[in-house]
Amino acid sequence: MKCIITIELGTNAVRIFAFDLNGSVIGSMKGFYPTFYSQTDYSEQDPEQIFITMLYVLKNLLNEVIHARKYTVASICFSSSMHSLLVVDKNGVPLGNALTWADNRAKKEAREINASPLADTLYASTGTPLHPMSPLLKIAWLRHNEPDKFQRAGKFLSVKSYVIYQLTGAYLIDYSLACATGMMDIRTADWAEEALQYAGISRDQLPQLVSVFAGAGNLKKAYQNSLGITDDTRILVGSSDGCMATLGAGIWNSDKATITIEDSSAVRIAGNHILQDEKKRVFNYLLTDNCFISGGPSNSGSGIFEWFVKQFGDSTGAYDMETCLTTLLEEATKVPPGSEGLLFLPYLLGERAPIWNPDARGCFFGINIQHEKQHFIRATIEGILYEIYSIGRLLMEHRDIKGLSVNGSFATIPFCSQMIADMYNVPVYVTKHNNSVSVGAFLLAATEMGIYRTLDEAAAQVEIDKTYWPQELHHQTYMKYYDIFERLSYKLSDEFARIAELQAHRTQ
């Protein structure tokens, strides 16, 4: 019997699934690695720690499930979070930690380029907003602030490119992940010369651009022997987690959107056109020929609620998000929609779409003497979802959205799914498997193997498990508070900049 393994290199964890060729999960495991916040706008991870954790989890899954049940691994398909930057020397040795998507140190570079005519040129060619998250601006920051390291750079990689290089010796990046660097021309599928000139690097310092279906070569012999995998196993470069979550949600080329809420979150649509937003607020990623994933990302997601739990919940023992949510959601349900006038702006890590403000900061607003702990719990969840709703409103300027598919550990909690349906006032669908990133990677690998003829045919196999219908009265209540939420998000712009400046000085 053959199986397909999917490896998702997420923000704080690696999740590995094994599927049989019918798409049924036969095993899964995950492992965690830390993120380091040494300064207010810094967010880093150790690439070796990520690689070792991935190997450890993969080997355990192989030994305890795959080999034990006599499966043969036909294909291994990768996905990862976007916007990471890792600098390695000419021998492939990391010159420090990887910068994650949440790293905002390139704020100055982002302000300067967005105020220049080059911003329009780059958005037109790359289809990606210019923000400190962009590896393009992270490289520019490195050139300005760490010139010695910049001069020693052999390659500028994503974390996924580094992991694949370690396994096979090939420097590769797929089109969708390359789009997220802000350096790929989305129409020609080649590195954009204007971007390379701005960054001050050559195309030789970047990995080779390849299709999401591309093979990465054979596993090195040492890993074949250690993992018990032969060189017949296909190693697929795969795609980004966001694109895989959209494919795995099964909303391909429809009038529906996908909401994914993990550590960060995003609202996405799939189609055969680029969304050219005049205000440069929408991203576009090329997945395959004439197929684009468009949408808006948010720094707010379950990671923000996890912060709330650590500060104000019962965190005395080992826990994960699912366990903590179960306890705190019971408290949140005691409060009506709108949290009786308590609002939360969830900008603890700055914010991307739609306000694109790395200086944005979190705050509770409207506190009165009657508010209790359960109000703060519900307001925190509502604040995260208001922010995600604001991205949906942005996409609705370009396309009608008549339904939503939600995925991710946070989104598929019934309380949250119902809240999303009420805010958007459209039906919300939950698929049979809520691990849509892994399902998408399976569908990609299965299509590459010929099990499905196209990604459209593969996406059509995704089954809906439950539908949440909107409640009009709750929608009306949420809209009254959302209006205040949106006004605060923009009105506090000056105050966000001032407090961010003070916080930056505090850490120096």
**Is the separation of the CB atoms in 392 and 424 below 8 Å?**
yes
**Is the separation of the CB atoms in 2 and 72 below 8 Å?**
yes
The pLDDT confidence band at residue 297, using thresholds 50, 70 and 90, is very high
pTM: 0.90
Integer Cα distance of 314 and 327 in angstroms: 9
Instruction: Tokens 């850490």: give the residue.
Output: 507
Q: 151-206: per-residue pLDDT in tens?
A: 999 999 999 999 999 999 999 999 999 999 999 999 999 999 999 999 999 999 99
Amino acid at 6: T
Instruction: Tokens 């498997």: give the residue.
Output: 433
Tokens of 1: 């019997």
Say which DSSP state 91 is in: T
Q: Max Cα separation, the chain?
A: 66
Burial of 405 (0-12, 13-18, 19+ CB in 10 A): buried
Nearest alpha carbon to residue 174 among 98, 287, 10, 7 = 287
Q: 242-286: per-residue pLDDT in tens?
A: 999 999 998 777 789 999 998 889 999 999 999 989 999 999 999
pLDDT number for residue 77: 98
pLDDT number for residue 450: 97
| 47-61, 253-267, 412-426: least confident range | 253-267
| 58-72, 84-98, 241-255, 456-470: least confident range | 241-255
Whether omega before 354 lies within 30 degrees of 0, making that bond cis, reads: yes
Residue 494 DSSP SS3: helix
pLDDT number for residue 326: 75
Instruction: Tokens 């790929």: give the residue.
Output: 184
Q: 329-377: per-residue pLDDT in tens?
A: 889 999 999 999 999 999 999 999 999 999 999 999 999 999 999 999 9
Rounded to a whole number of angstroms, the CA Rg of the chain reads 22
Q: Are strands 208-210 and 172-174 parallel, antiparallel or unpaired?
A: parallel
Q: 264 or 80: which carries more pLDDT confidence?
A: 80
Residue 490 has pLDDT above 60, yes or no: yes
The pLDDT of 406-422, averaged and rounded, is 89
Say which DSSP state 459 is in: H
Express as a percent the part of the chain with pLDDT over 70: 97
Residue 321 has pLDDT above 90, yes or no: no
Integer Cα distance of 205 and 82 in angstroms: 19
Instruction: Tokens 């949408």: give the residue.
Output: 295
Residue 284 DSSP SS3: strand
Residue 318 has pLDDT above 80, yes or no: no
Domains of the chain: 2-243 (3.30.420.40), 250-280+291-507 (3.30.420.40)
Q: Are strands 2-9 and 234-240 parallel, antiparallel or unpaired?
A: unpaired
pLDDT number for residue 12: 87
